[in-house]
Amino acid sequence: MLRILVASSKGGCGKTTIATNLAAYYALDGKNTVLVDTDRQGSSQRWCEKRVGFGAPVLPIAGTRHGWQARIPADAERVIVDAPAGIRASELSELLDDVHALLIPVLPSRIDLEASEIFLDEVAALPKIKRGKVALGLVANRLKPWTTAAQQAIDEIKKLPFPLVGQLRDTQGYVLMTGLGKSIFDYHSEVIRSHQEDWEKVIRWLKKVA
């Protein structure tokens, strides 16, 4: 069972978008997939509920309730945990139990990069991260790769103390599909396929973790 935590200290960074699309990818790949929503807003859980009736369902579990770990089915093959918005490093420590990988989305703006640097310094000091018990990867999110600003941001992210494992381009498609309980992987048009390719590096990194 591969367990992946998606977390960030910065609100609005696309954390839930990454968690839901990753869950959909695994479900469509035939894996029994669980999405644990520890955010009180419940966005990931509502996404799972909207997905009921489609092919490749994802089982939602409310992670705001005590003892949610015991409700994960024994036959689950992939567990994605969507952390609360604006989580602190000290709060993150508890969620790292039994997690194999931690994905942290980073937005390509100076404010977000500075906030991420502080957060990552604190995360790096957590025992499970420090000892290499949990793999940590950064995902540059909502990029406009044709701009100089985006390229400069990527250069800055690569200087951070953890590997950049994915670069996801900005598109309103993610917002529209999330509202429908779908994902970037539920469609097969040429335009959508180009965005699916953005995820290949993330998926390869997670396979190495597994």
Partners of 2 in the β-ladder: 78
Q: What is the pTM of this model?
A: 0.91
Percent pLDDT > 70 in the chain is 100
Say if residues 100 and 4 touch (Cβ distance below 8 Å).
Answer: yes
pLDDT category of residue 78 using cuts at 50, 70 and 90: very high
Higher-confidence residue of 191 and 38: namely: 38
Partners of 105 in the β-ladder: 139
What is the mean pLDDT of the segment spanning 13-36? 93
If you search the block for the tokens 């993150």, which residue do you land on? Answer: 92
C-alpha gyration radius of the chain: 16
pLDDT surpassing 80 at residue 173: no
CA 14, chain centre distance (Å): 8
What is the mean pLDDT of the segment spanning 126-146? 89
Cα dist from 113 to 83, 121, 155, 198, whole Å: 19, 12, 11, 21
What is the mean pLDDT of the segment spanning 24-40? 93
pLDDT category of residue 85 using cuts at 50, 70 and 90: confident
pLDDT surpassing 90 at residue 92: no
Tell me the pLDDT of the chain averaged across its residues: 87
Q: What is the DSSP letter of 42?
A: -
DSSP element (H, E) containing 179: helix 173-179
Say if residues 182 and 51 touch (Cβ distance below 8 Å).
Answer: yes
Which CATH fold would you assign to the domain 2-205? Rossmann fold (3.40.50)
Q: What is the reported pLDDT for 13?
A: 77
Write the pLDDT tens digit of every residue in 142-169.
888 778 877 888 888 888 889 999 998 8
pLDDT category of residue 205 using cuts at 50, 70 and 90: very high
Q: What is the reported pLDDT for 163?
A: 94
3-state SS of 109-167?
A: CHHHHHHHHHHHHHHHCCHHHHCCCCEEEEEEEEECCCCHHHHHHHHHHCCCCCCEEEE
Structure tokens at 47: 């996404």
Dihedral over Cα of 50, 91, 18, 209: its sign: negative
Which range has the worst mean pLDDT, 75-79, 115-119, 173-177?
Answer: 173-177
Q: What is the reported pLDDT for 150?
A: 77
Q: What is the reported pLDDT for 199?
A: 92
